[in-house]
Structure 1
Amino acid sequence: MIEQKSHPTGPVPAPRPVRAVARCAVVALALAALTWVARAVWHLRLATAGMPASGPPDQGGGEHRPLNALEDSYHLVDSVGGAVTAVCAIAFLFWLDRMRDNARALSGAEPRYAYLWLWLGWVVPVVNLWIPRGLVADVHRSVFPERPLPAVVNWWWGLWLAGLAGGVGLIYADDTDEVIARAYDGVLPLLAADLVVVAAAGAAALMIHTLTTAQQRRLDEPAEAAQATRAA
């Protein structure tokens, strides 16, 4: 069973402020986008430089030639990008976890998907095509059932899936030296994937802002009502 029952099964936690974790997630997304822009710049630099006379870094048969300075710097950009992307993923999941807890507190209902799927839903094949979007959509719909899902959620998810497609976006099917060879031989697919990932990061940041603002306003309503009562 992927989905769980909607009625509460334990004590409902008190809602907590979500703006701080949202800001951290947005900053992490911005940094991740910058690393992917840097990756695109290096792809262009490799394509402009052209394949060295000695051939690609991976010579075949398990042999690799020494890397030149540009190729070495691409390895550094790739490593930094991977580390920043990992931090970004953690920040995003902490934001989503806080949003889920608050949605449960505000709606009085259990999230549609069990907590385990908050982490596994991104990596389990097949179900990772819909569960992450479902986790985000549930955060909004459980608190605002009368409102349509913000369009930015679907934009984010479409761009995320496009970034995963083809093995040239968020998850490369090839190792770094093979990606370098791709940049020498045909850089356009790599640049297209870079652009999609940067767009996905931007859509994710806008989505975080949209959902966080709506939820925080709902969280602030009791305090605002109490202040209005005192003023009256």
Structure 2
Amino acid sequence: MNDDIAQPALRPVRGAARCAVAGLVLAGAAWAARAVWQVRLATAGLPPSGPPDQGDGWHRPLTGLEDAYHSVSTLGDASTLLCAAAFLVWLSRMRDNARVLSGQAPRYAWPWVYAGWIVPVMNLWVPRGIVADVHHQSAPGEPLPRAVNWWWGLWLAGMVSGLGLMSTGSTDDIIERAYTSVRLLLLVDAAVVAAAVAGIVVVRALTAVQQERMAAATGH
């Protein structure tokens, strides 16, 4: 696919990479905190009054622990959004540089850098394809770091489960699941945290490779 906008100059990526790493650390910590609170809910056990959602649109007052989980969940959602924004800034800048270094148009047009994460079906492979394309254009002939596949596999595990990154359930639904099937929730949390760790490795590895190629291209 061809881009409509050319990027004639190389752009610094170290700052964007640091922000992306910080975002991944924050998101991973937030999901770990969710797991801790889910274990606390499971340990406390379902109150005699039943789950928060009583059905027919009626919700009982939350316990102190449930209310705290709502706060933890909100902070987790905010940190995930910040992480996504930082990661996309880094990826967009890396993609622009890869195009300059290779002299070739990227495999995917620029809207897919953003739309690829949310368009159904396409989001199962387009983001990984963009990352892989960046590496191949930045370091032709070098094998794709294994961390990319680990990161993407773990991301998919956390996304398609229906309980993780793309969950459409309410926080009260997650609380009820913590009381009844916390192990599944913890597996999803573990996948998301591990994906964040693998993502840090990916950001650092691809940034280092591109920085080396940029230094060779500019003589610095």
- When normalised by structure 1's length, the TM-score is 0.91
Q: How does 1:123-202 map to 2 (within 5 A)?
A: 123-202=118-197
Equivalent pair of 2:53/2:60 in contact (CA under 8 Å)? yes
Which residue of structure 1 lines up, in the alignment, with residue 54 of structure 2? 59
Q: How does 1:86-101 map to 2 (within 5 A)?
A: 86-101=81-96
Equivalent pair of 1:12/1:108 in contact (CA under 8 Å)? no
What amino acid does structure 1 have at the position aligned with 2:30? T
Which residue of structure 2 lines up, in the alignment, with residue 230 of structure 1? none
Which residue of structure 2 lines up, in the alignment, with residue 41 of structure 1? 36
Q: 1:222 offset after TM fit, Å?
A: 4.0
Q: 1:70 offset after TM fit, Å?
A: 0.4
1:38-64: per-residue Cα shift (whole Å, max 9, x none)?
A: 000000000000000100000011110
Larger Rg: 1
1:177-219: per-residue Cα shift (whole Å, max 9, x none)?
A: 0110100111000011000000000000100000000000111
Label 1:223 to 1:109 Cα distance change in 2 as closer, same or farther (>3 A): closer
1:220 matched to 2:215: yes
Label 1:9 to 1:80 Cα distance change in 2 as closer, same or farther (>3 A): closer
Q: Percent identity?
A: 57
1:143-166: per-residue Cα shift (whole Å, max 9, x none)?
A: 222111111111111000001122
What amino acid does structure 2 have at the position aligned with 1:56? P
Q: 1:10 offset after TM fit, Å?
A: 5.8
Q: 1:223 offset after TM fit, Å?
A: 4.7
Which residue of structure 1 lines up, in the alignment, with residue 12 of structure 2? 17
Which residue of structure 1 lines up, in the alignment, with residue 117 of structure 2? 122
Q: CA RMSD for the aligned pairs?
A: 1.3
1:32-89: per-residue Cα shift (whole Å, max 9, x none)?
A: 0000010000000000000001000000111100001100000000000001100100
1:128-155: per-residue Cα shift (whole Å, max 9, x none)?
A: 1110001101101122221111111111
- Provide structure 1 residue ranges, at least 5 long, that are not aligned to the other structure: 226-232
Whole-angstrom distance in 1 between the partners of 2:150 and 2:25: 17
- Provide structure 2 residue ranges, at least 5 long, that are not aligned to the other structure: none
Equivalent pair of 2:52/2:60 in contact (CA under 8 Å)? yes
Aligned equivalent of 2:71, options 55, 68, 76? 76
Equivalent pair of 2:10/2:100 in contact (CA under 8 Å)? yes
Q: Number of residue pairs matched?
A: 220
Q: 1:110 offset after TM fit, Å?
A: 1.0
Q: 1:27 offset after TM fit, Å?
A: 0.5
Whole-angstrom distance in 1 between the partners of 2:174 and 2:42: 11
Whole-angstrom distance in 1 between the partners of 2:169 and 2:46: 18
SS in structure 1 opposite 2:97?
helix
What amino acid does structure 1 have at the position aligned with 2:196? A
